[in-house]
Amino acid sequence: MNRKELEKYITENYNTKAEFLWAKYPNYAIFRHNSNRKWFVLIMTISKEKLGLPECDIIDIMNVKCETIMINSFRAEKGIYAAYHMNKANWISVALDDSVSDKKVKMFVDMSFRLTAPKIKKGKIKENEIKNNLQ
C-alpha cells in the first residue's frame, strides 16, 4: 500500500483528514480521533538509515500504536520496525513500500485506532446497554 492509498483508506473509514503540523516537515501527516484528538497514525518520509537499515534511500513509513504483547513478533516480520521517533514500547513503524501486505497495513491502522480511542466508562456502558435494549 502506498501513501496515497493509505491516506484514502483512513479518510474514508475514520472520517478524519490528514493534518500537517510541522513547517519543517511539510509532508509529515498525522491522523487523529475527532473526539479525544489522540493520534492513531503518523505518516513520514525518512531515510532508511533511521530505521537501522544500511541503505540511504528515502522511504514512506507509518507509525501506529500496537498491542505491546505483539510488538516483538511483528518486528520480526519484513517491513516492520521499532517506531521511529516514538515510544518503541507502544508504537511500530511500518514501511509503505509493498513489503507489508495491504491487508496487514489496514489491520495495523484499525488496531491503532482502537488502542487510541476514548475509553468508555462503566457507567456509560450501562447507559448504552439500556438505550440499546429499549430500541
- Domains present along the chain, CATH in parentheses: 3-134 (3.90.1150.30)
d(CA 19, CA 16): 9
pLDDT band at 133 (very low <50, low <70, confident <90, very high): very low
Read off the C-alpha cell for 31.
491522523
pLDDT exceeds 50 at position 81? yes
The model carries a pTM of 0.83
Q: What is the mean pLDDT of residues 26-40?
A: 93
